[in-house]
Amino acid sequence: MSSLKIINSGLLTTIQDYGRVGYGQYGVPAAGVMDRLAMQLANILVDNDRYEAVLEMTMMGLSFKADGNMAIAITGADMFPTVNGKKVNLYETIYLNNGDILECSYAQSGCRAYLAVAGGFDLPKVMGSKSTYLRGKIGGLNGNKIQKGDILKINPKNGKEYFGIRKIPEDMIPRYKNEITARVILGPEVDYFTKNGMETFLSSEYVLTDQCDRMGYRLEGPRIEHEKGSDIISNGINFGAIQIPGHGCPIIMMADRQTTGGYTKIANVITVDLPFLAQLKPGDRVKFEKIDIEEAQNLIKKQEKNLLNLINDFKTSLINTVGTMRNFKINVNGKKYNLSVQEIKES
């Protein structure tokens, strides 16, 4: 069984998938990746189920030694990944040979990078998910963040098909900026805010403070005025829900959010804009734009259609293979190379 031997764990690296769905009623946070689009693109590049668990790296990436041959892909923030000291591309399939060293640095753009391995990580599911919830010490690798010396085992890739080197089309690659406009659907407690408060929310620019993590983002900017106070009877919290406590500054609830909350919710960031929100860093800026539910639904339908079309396009290029892959070490003009050879069937 192939594995990754962690040399340096980066600033914060965890195992995450889509999240723990259906357990909020028991007080269990969903967790899961912050950027669901980047996760799906990474998995598609290595022919995994698109919701398979990946490594989520925050601000600064990890480094590891490949124990065995494997296919990987990196998406999201550009952490200048290298293999044996040579730069490799994001958003395309990367083949590693036994002994190769992959290193990631600080994020050049965005905040979070995602690394998928073909076959997925050999980890148990806790309540239907491999996602790490650090505060509860559940999921992932014994409920902990990835640390130096950890060994992450990889499931063998099923099937006898070679999926080649896949590349995400340019028009599907997200471009991260340090100023975004997040589209929102107004929340259930809009009548708790004055008219001026609503206008302030929709016309102002807010700055992401250093009080931000996987649980939530605290923003700084013009205060939003309440009409009826900020406290409500606690109710459910969605990914992207925007709470306005008594101090009047927004807090956006993210992947590790609590299951219920007792502050007024002025709006919710739409699904297709959450990945761009997830890629913000402290000091970055965000504005909010109101749209209706039908438009939000059309946007996620369009994204889903594009992803399914991409998967289908890649599936048509699969090649049947014969036997096992053979690996060789060769020397050309004094330079050493690892070479993998796989016999394929004629079509």
Q: Model-level pTM?
A: 0.92
In sequence order, the 6+-apart residues with CB closer than 8 A to the CB of 71 are 46, 47, 93, 94, 95, 96, 117, 118, 157, 163
How many CA atoms lie within 13 Å of 146's alpha carbon, on the beta-carbon side? 29
Task: Give the whole-angstrom CA distance, residue 326 versus residue 216.
Answer: 47
Task: Give the whole-angstrom CA distance, residue 285 versus residue 63.
Answer: 30
Give the phi and the psi of residue 304 in degrees, each rounded to 5. Answer: -65, -40
Best CA proximity match to 244, nearest among 271, 260, 225: 225
* pLDDT in the model for residue 198: 97
Sign of the torsion formed by the C-alpha atoms of 141, 36, 104 and 48:
positive
* Type and span of the H or E element at 14: strand 12-16
Task: Give the whole-angstrom CA distance, residue 38 versus residue 112.
Answer: 9
Task: Give the whole-angstrom CA distance, residue 304 versus residue 306.
Answer: 5
Angle at CA of residue 68, ends 89 and 100, nearest 5°: 45
Best CA proximity match to 271, nearest among 44, 52, 27, 18: 18
Task: Give the whole-angstrom CA distance, residue 155 versus residue 123.
Answer: 9
* pLDDT in the model for residue 329: 67
Alpha helices in the chain (DSSP H): 36-45, 195-203, 274-278, 293-315
CATH 2.40.100.10 range(s) for the chain read: 179-297
Q: Can you give the pLDDT of all 347 residues of the chain as single tens digits?
A: 899 999 999 999 999 999 999 999 999 999 999 999 999 999 999 999 999 999 999 999 999 999 999 999 999 999 999 999 999 999 999 999 999 999 999 999 999 999 999 999 999 999 999 999 999 999 999 999 999 999 999 999 876 667 889 999 999 999 999 999 999 999 999 999 999 999 999 999 999 999 999 999 999 999 999 998 888 889 899 999 999 999 999 999 999 999 999 899 999 999 999 999 999 999 999 999 999 999 999 999 999 999 999 999 999 877 655 555 566 667 777 776 666 666 656 55
* pLDDT in the model for residue 237: 94
In sequence order, the 6+-apart residues with CB closer than 8 A to the CB of 325 are 69, 340, 341, 342
Q: Which token pair is 256?
A: 């590790």
Sort 314 into a burial class: Cβ within 10 Å, 0-12 / 13-18 / 19+: middle
* pLDDT in the model for residue 160: 60
Q: H/E/C letters for each residue in 122-150?
A: CCCCECCECCCEHHHCECCECCECCCCCC
- In terms of phi and psi (left: phi > 0; alpha: psi -120 to 50; beta: otherwise), the region of 143 is left
Q: Looking at the DSSP assignment, which residues form a beta bridge with residue 115?
A: 55, 74
* Amino acid at position 294, single letter: E
CATH H superfamily, domain 179-297: Cyclophilin-like (2.40.100.10)
Whether the CB-CB separation of 35 and 19 falls below 8 Å is answered with no
Whether the CB-CB separation of 251 and 217 falls below 8 Å is answered with yes
* pLDDT in the model for residue 277: 98
